[in-house]
Structure formats: structure tokens, C-alpha cells
Amino acid sequence: MSGERLLNFAIRYGFLILLIGMVLFFSFAANGFASPRSAVFVLQSVAITGILALGVTCTLVVDGFDLSIGAVATSALMLSAYSMVILEQSAFTAIVLCLLMGAFVGLVNGILIVKFRVPDLLATLGMMFLLIGLQRIPTQGNSIATGMSLSADSVAEGVFSPAFLWLGRHRFDLVIERLVPVPVVIFLVIALAIWAFLSLTRHGRLMYAIGSNERAAALVGTPVSRYKIAAYMISGVTASIGGILLAARLGRGDIASGTNLLLDSVAAALIGFAVLGAARPNAFGTVVGALFVGILLQGMTMMNAPYYTQDFVKGAVLVVALVFTFYLSSRRGAGGKV
């Protein structure tokens, strides 16, 4: 009996204990790791991938997958730059355009999957390539920055408006002056919202039901198609928020495929399965998963570990998390409170 209780304890708290252990280790081993600023750095470095990961969590909940989030984020990055620098629009217009773009991409993804029966991985993979190409067309593959030549005798006059850059660069005072950056606040707000949506509302509950047994959910009268499309739209919108914050931080429209954003955020969401032994996608787990990777990378960078060891460690964490999720949890038997 005690063996089983130990197993249950390990499944439930193993990952959190590992997280705390890691924080303690780096606090002793890495100079300057244990400080409020350092903590905020970690949050800031995971804010954008974390936001994307929360979106992908929603698609994972309905047993889907969204490979296009990285490309949506970089498309939002380009779109915001394009609308401010070249079209000389306001920050507000740029943000609204990006959010609409994210929602639209999510809608198309959802329709491809639900109505045209394209498997989710393929539909969103196609969308990913489409967006990577599309974001390069308006500028012929160039990055967008103020002063870039538009034609022989005119240059882009628009600038990233201060209000827009505020989103990426402003820091709120919290005990220490200029401590908490805006992206961190937005990340935490979105995390709270997605968590509440998925685990407290009936909509979230129905999405979990769809993910667990789509037919059964349909047979109790759930509008399955609508919920699935909604999940992809949430994913698209959160990805575009991530892209907006990225643009505000970089202050320019960088062309990038966003593949690393995609991989990091998917990793965070999958690691999240293991947190508290949930064995299913969940917002809290995703946030912990993102923090886990963030803390690990921060600590290793501070200890001067070369970049390739970081990918290795990320992979190792993911594998351990997946073992937690699929092996240990299956031994315990499934089911329980969401």
C-alpha cells in the first residue's frame, strides 16, 4: 500500500519538487540567480513562449494540435511592423489587425479540420508554411524597420509608436523600481484567464470532454465543431498576442519562421501534462512547464553552459515529463477531477 502511495505522491508532486530542487541548486551554484530581478528575467524570457503554449494547450484539450502558432506569432510581428512603419497606422490599429489576423488564421485552421476533415497536424502544418511565405511577400523577404527604402526615392517614414513599444518594454514598479515588464503581466493575465476558462467553466469542461471522447460529447448534444474551431481561434489569438509582444520587444519586423517558438511552446505544454499528475493538457501545468524550461535555461546560461547543452537539457526534461505522464499515470489508472 505504501508503495502505491509513494507512486501517487511522485506522480503528483514529483515535477514541482524537481522544480524547487532546481531553483535551490542554481541559487547556490550560479552567482546572482537568487534575486527578484532574476526571477522576473525568467518570467520575461518565458512570457512569449508561455503565451503561445497556453494557446496550444487549448487545442491539445480538444485532442487537436496547432503547428501554426510559431508562424502566426512571427506573422503578427511582421504585420504590426508593416502597419506601423509602412502604412503609418497607430499602435491600436496595429494591435487590432494582429488580433484579427490571429483569429482568422485560427478560424481557417478550425474549418479545415472540422469541415474539410484535414487531419489537424497536416492542416496546421500547411498553414504554417503558408504564413511563413506570406509574411515575406509584402517586403520581398526584407525585415521591416523605419527608414527602409520603399522605392528609389522614398523611405518608410512610419515608426513603432511609443504606445506599442510600451507593451514590450515598460516595467511596472513592484517593491523594486521598474521591476515587472508588461509582457510578464500579460502572460500572467492570459494564464489566469485560460486556466479559469478550461477548468472552471462549462465550456472548458465540454472541451475536455471532446478531447477525451469526441463521439460521446457529440451524443450528449455538444456542438463539437464549434468548440473545436473556438479552440483553434483561441490558439491563433494567443499566438498573435505573443507576436505583438515580440514585435514590441524587438522594435522591428524581423522575418523569422517561428519554429523555435513553436517547439518551445509545445514542449512547455507537454511538460505541463506531468505537473500534479494531471496526465492531460492543463493551463497551470503549461505555465509550470514554461517556467521549468525558463529557469533551467537561465541557470545554465548564468553558469556559462554552451548553447547546445541547453537544447539537450530541454529535450531531457521533455522526455522525463512524458515518462511521468504516460508511464506512471497509466500505472495509477486514469480519471479524476479536472
Residues 3-62 that bind other proteins (CB under 8 A): 30-33, 35, 37-38, 41, 44-45, 48
Stretch that binds other proteins, among 111-119, 207-215, 266-274, 319-327 (CB under 8 A): 207-215
Buried b (16+ CB within 10 A) or exposed e, 85-105: bbeebebeebbebbbebbbeb
Q: What is the DSSP letter of 62?
A: T
330 near other proteins (CB under 8 A): no
Please name the amino acid found at residue 138.
P
175 near other proteins (CB under 8 A): no
297 near other proteins (CB under 8 A): yes
235 near other proteins (CB under 8 A): no
Residue from 21, 88, 129, 203 in contact with other proteins (CB under 8 A) = 203
- Binding residues with other proteins: total (CB under 8 A): 84
Residue from 251, 276, 313, 322 in contact with other proteins (CB under 8 A) = 251
Helix axes 69-81, 36-61, angle to 10 degrees: 120
Give the closest residue to 114 by CA, choosing from 280, 237, 228, 25.
Answer: 228
Please name the amino acid found at residue 304.
N
Residue from 209, 230, 239, 267 in contact with other proteins (CB under 8 A) = 209
Bridging pattern class, strands 149-151 and 154-155: antiparallel
Query: For residues 300-319, which are near other proteins according to CB under 8 A?
Result: 301-304, 306-307, 310
Stretch that binds other proteins, among 16-24, 114-122, 134-142, 232-240 (CB under 8 A): 134-142
Buried b (16+ CB within 10 A) or exposed e, 33-63: beeeebbbbbbbbbbbbbbbbbbbbbbbbbb
CB 164 within 8 Å of CB 170 = no
170 near other proteins (CB under 8 A): no
Give me the least distance between CB of 258 and other proteins, in Å please: 7
Q: 294: burial class by Cβ within 10 Å (0-12, 13-18, 19+)?
A: buried
283 near other proteins (CB under 8 A): no
- The total number of residues shown for the chain amounts to 338
Give the closest residue to 198 by CA, choosing from 284, 278, 289, 256.
Answer: 284
Stretch that binds other proteins, among 3-11, 116-124, 185-193, 219-227 (CB under 8 A): 219-227
151 near other proteins (CB under 8 A): yes
Q: Compare residues 90 and 201 and give the one whose CB is closer to other proteins.
A: 201
Give me the least distance between CB of 90 and other proteins, in Å please: 20
CA distance 155 to 170: 29
Residue from 27, 89, 93, 259 in contact with other proteins (CB under 8 A) = 259
Q: 162: burial class by Cβ within 10 Å (0-12, 13-18, 19+)?
A: exposed
Residue from 10, 163, 218, 276 in contact with other proteins (CB under 8 A) = 218
87 near other proteins (CB under 8 A): no
82 near other proteins (CB under 8 A): no
Nine-digit cell at 318? 521533455
Residue from 21, 36, 133, 147 in contact with other proteins (CB under 8 A) = 147
Stretch that binds other proteins, among 13-21, 112-120, 150-158, 315-323 (CB under 8 A): 150-158
Nine-digit cell at 337? 477531477
Residue from 57, 80, 222, 329 in contact with other proteins (CB under 8 A) = 222
Nine-digit cell at 239? 499566438
